[in-house]
Amino acid sequence: MFKEKLKSVKDEYVTKGYWQKKTYGELIHEWADKYRDRIAVVEGSEKITYKELDVLSEKLACFFIKKGIKKGDSVIFQLTNMISLPIAYFALFKIGAVPIPVYPALREREITALAVCANATAYICVEEYLNFCYKELVNKVFEETESMNIVIYEKEIRDYCFSERGEYKCEYEKPEFDEVALLLLSGGSTGIPKLIERTHADHFYSVRLTSEICRLNESSVYLGAMPLTHNFFLCGPGLLGTLYSGGKVVMAEAASPDEILRLIDEEGVTITSLVPAVAKICLEMQPYFEEYSSETLKIVQLGGAIVEDSLAQRVEEVFGCKVQQIYGMSEGIICCTRLDDSDDVVYGTQGKEISEADVVKIVDAYGMEVPDGENGELIAKGPYTVDHYYKNVHSEKFTEDGFYKTGDKAVRRKDGNIVILGRADELINKGGEKVMPVEIEELLKDFEDIKDAIVIGNDDEALGMEICAFIISSNPCLTDAAIIEKLKQEKVAEYKIPDLFIRVEQQWPLTAVGKIDKKELIKML
Ligand code: AMP
């Protein structure tokens, strides 16, 4: 019965034209036929055309098959912004292996949990990035993960693709359009990771819509300033949307203002996407890089975390471009402002749903829809929003009728535009990176000298939020540096390390009903 219902929903998405019966492997082939010798991707002085991207990803697909990767395998995908990244994505898409894109900042603890959860068999990884050597990390993950048996470093991919050796064509089983293309990470996971299965068809639908809303075309130049292993920068329209439109993707090695401003000038960038924290740094640094022009820049997308009205306005003024506010998540639903929206909408809202088939509701604590103008939690369903997590974990995040509960507090204005107000839960959004307090609390409580710990997000001008750890310690000599060192030894991503440690004597302040008074803790700040 359930399977039949699912099939009829899928059929409807196909009939209505939301889902195309194509995989990303077929799409890159189609785009190569259409855009042929146009430049698809640029990294420094290296460039590849659409034809080369298709041919090289086919060649790499054969290499992956030879290495033992096959249809249905989960693959940890930790590449940084470089030409090998799109080649490797498409090679995996072609053979139906499923990349789990992870940020360069993730470390042993997180990667191992993901690899175990998804039974990953392969790890595709950069060797070194921002002074961190990944080989030791890979070795550790291999030691702790039974299923993992193939490692392929980026250098091997590059050498293989650009050498004469190897096969350019081989036989392999191809995936279907409605099979899983990507296993994405949900922000702020703890314990068992929340992985999100996105199919070729549903994912590409959001790519198609966002490209059309941004009016991308063959003259578009997208700057991949932030990690292209994050869904916002991969598909909103990002890397994939630019390739769908015949534009050019420019890879920035790191999200640093000098690199971003230089590439905008040198490559004639027309569109880029930034989290607010990075946009702020670019604004601050712009006067020091006045030699770089941003004349070609038409759109800066701002999203991933709360965008202040003044920031959107300043970006438009300083860069002489249009801002597009975008709100979305790896689970699917995307809302954004449109290019012809008024300043009031662009500066003060996150716009509207991208598909006519999206169903977005703002609900109260009982799940009842509230009238426009009233606050509540945003829940959503539709043709590119998942209705369950991989292996059905955390089913409490979905309603019985298939809505994803975002955990975001929002209000719908009378004109239909949505304003995101913050989180309904405790998730800390630190410059776009998501951290669940309980994960850090548990790590802290594992230390001998720490009797109890509470982690809270606090407003921060630069990052939006910072992580504050309140601790009750049995050792008055315990220093912040010692705690940080211990956390580093636990091999967690560095962005999760608290920015501030506050000692609390003896016991937590309590509310009248005996609960820990977090408001009182925040006052201590
Ligand atoms: P992720 O799946 O990592 O992209 O995280 C999605 C979460 O990021 C959302 O549920 C929001 O909490 C937050 N987020 C994304 N875009 C925005 C935005 N424009 N304004 C406020 N929060 C945002």
Q: What are the tens digits of pLDDT across the range 18-50?
A: 999 999 999 999 999 999 999 999 999 999 999
The length of the chain, given as a count of residues: 525
Give domain status of residue 259, yes or no: no
Q: What does the pLDDT look like over 223-269, one tens digit per residue? A: 999 999 999 999 999 999 999 999 999 999 999 999 999 999 999 99
Q: Is 324 in the pocket of ligand 1 (CB under 6 A)?
A: no
Number of domains in the chain: 1
Band (pLDDT 50/70/90 cuts) for residue 426 is confident
pLDDT of residue 467: 95
Lowest-confidence segment of 145-159, 379-393, 430-444 by average pLDDT:
430-444
If one compares 85 and 193, the residue with the highest pLDDT of the two is: 85
Q: What does the pLDDT look like over 126-160, one tens digit per residue? A: 999 999 999 999 999 999 999 999 999 999 999 99
Distance CA 246, CA 496 (A): 38
- Which residue's alpha carbon is at the smallest distance from atom 3 of ligand 1? 187
If one compares 505 and 30, the residue with the highest pLDDT of the two is: 30
Give domain status of residue 344, yes or no: no
pLDDT of residue 178: 96
Nearest CA-CA partner of 172 in 248, 97, 222: 97
SS (H, E, C) 358-409: CEEEEECCCCCECCCCCEEEEEEEECCECCCCHHHCCHHHECCCCCEEEEEE
pLDDT of residue 193: 80
Band (pLDDT 50/70/90 cuts) for residue 78 is very high
Give domain status of residue 509, yes or no: yes
Q: What is the mean pLDDT of residues 117-133?
A: 96
Give domain status of residue 443, yes or no: yes
Q: How many A from CA of 155 to the centre of ligand 1?
A: 33
Atom of ligand 1 nearest to the CA of 307: 20
Q: Which residues of 53-69 are buried (b: 16+ CB within 10 A; e: fewer)?
A: bbbbbbbbbbbbbeeeb
To test the ligand 1 pocket, which listed residue (362, 420, 465, 496) has its Cβ within 8 A of the most ligand atoms?
420
pLDDT of residue 511: 75
Atom of ligand 1 nearest to the CA of 427: 12
Q: What is the mean pLDDT of residues 62-78?
A: 97
Which class for 469: exposed (0-12), middle (13-18), buried (19 or more C-beta within 10 A)?
A: buried
Could you give the angle at the alpha carbon of 51 between the alpha carbons of 76 and 266, nearest 5°?
A: 80
If one compares 309 and 207, the residue with the highest pLDDT of the two is: 207
If one compares 445 and 369, the residue with the highest pLDDT of the two is: 369
- Which residue's alpha carbon is at the smallest distance from atom 6 of ligand 1? 329
Give domain status of residue 453, yes or no: yes
Give domain status of residue 459, yes or no: yes
To test the ligand 1 pocket, which listed residue (273, 325, 335, 408) has its Cβ within 8 A of the most ligand atoms?
408
| Owning domain of residue 492 | 427-524
Cα atoms in the Cβ-side hemisphere of radius 13 Å centred on 332: 32
Q: Is 386 in the pocket of ligand 1 (CB under 6 A)?
A: no
Taking 80 as the threshold, does the pLDDT of residue 6 lie above it?
Answer: no
Q: How many A from CA of 28 to the centre of ligand 1?
A: 28
pLDDT of residue 492: 86
Q: How many A from CA of 3 to the centre of ligand 1?
A: 31
Band (pLDDT 50/70/90 cuts) for residue 167 is confident
Q: How many A from CA of 422 to the centre of ligand 1?
A: 9
Band (pLDDT 50/70/90 cuts) for residue 165 is confident
- Which residue's alpha carbon is at the smallest distance from atom 7 of ligand 1? 329
Taking 90 as the threshold, does the pLDDT of residue 8 lie above it?
Answer: no
Q: Is 420 in the pocket of ligand 1 (CB under 6 A)?
A: yes
CATH of the domain at 493: 3.30.300.30
Give domain status of residue 84, yes or no: no
Average pLDDT score over the chain: 94
Taking 90 as the threshold, does the pLDDT of residue 518 lie above it?
Answer: no
SS (H, E, C) 455-480: EEEEEECCCEEEEEEEEEECCCCCCH
Q: Is 327 in the pocket of ligand 1 (CB under 6 A)?
A: yes
Give domain status of residue 32, yes or no: no
Q: Where are the alpha helices (DSSP H) in 214-365?
A: 231-235, 238-245, 257-267, 276-285, 309-319, 343-348
Taking 80 as the threshold, does the pLDDT of residue 514 lie above it?
Answer: no
Q: How many A from CA of 305 to the centre of ligand 1?
A: 5
